[in-house]
Amino acid sequence: EVQLLESGGALVQPGGSLRLSCAASGFTFSNYAMSWVRQAPGKGLDWVSAIRAIGGDTYFADSVKGRFTISRDNSKNTLYLQMNGLRVEDTAVYYCAKGGYSGFDSHFDYWGRGTLVTVSS
């Protein structure tokens, strides 16, 4: 059974940093692209970042480019999101999502339950 378990969400002040983790199990982690998708309170889904399975190419939404970095440790089956320069508008539930095949597009076949990041003074 595929499981994705996010952690690391917290209350942080504007300008602060946070690192989210996503522990994966139930599939060959190294074979799939992984993404972070967020959802602000009462709002829709907002794709944040992705990292390919092979080559480690990374992608970012314009809203987080230059502030967030994504990485993965295939030996630990874990995905990370390092968030720096946090803004109030980054407040959201952050979901980890598994790519649906070996490539990468908007196909996410499994999602975690999410971790809440609150940016406030």
> Stretches 13-21, 22-30, 75-83, 109-117: which one binds other proteins (CB under 8 A)?
109-117
Residue of 54, 41, 115 lying closest to 80 (CA atoms): 115
* SS3 label, residue 7: strand
**Which amino acid type is present at position 90?**
D
In contact, 109 and 100? CB cutoff 8 Å: yes
Among 70, 72, 112, 115, binds other proteins (CB under 8 A): 112
Among 108, 115, 117, 119, binds other proteins (CB under 8 A): 108
Q: Is 45 in the site for other proteins (CB under 8 A)?
A: yes
Shortest distance (Å) from residue 48 CB to other proteins: 9
Size of the residue set binding other proteins (CB under 8 A): 23
In contact, 94 and 4? CB cutoff 8 Å: no
Q: Is 62 in the site for other proteins (CB under 8 A)?
A: yes
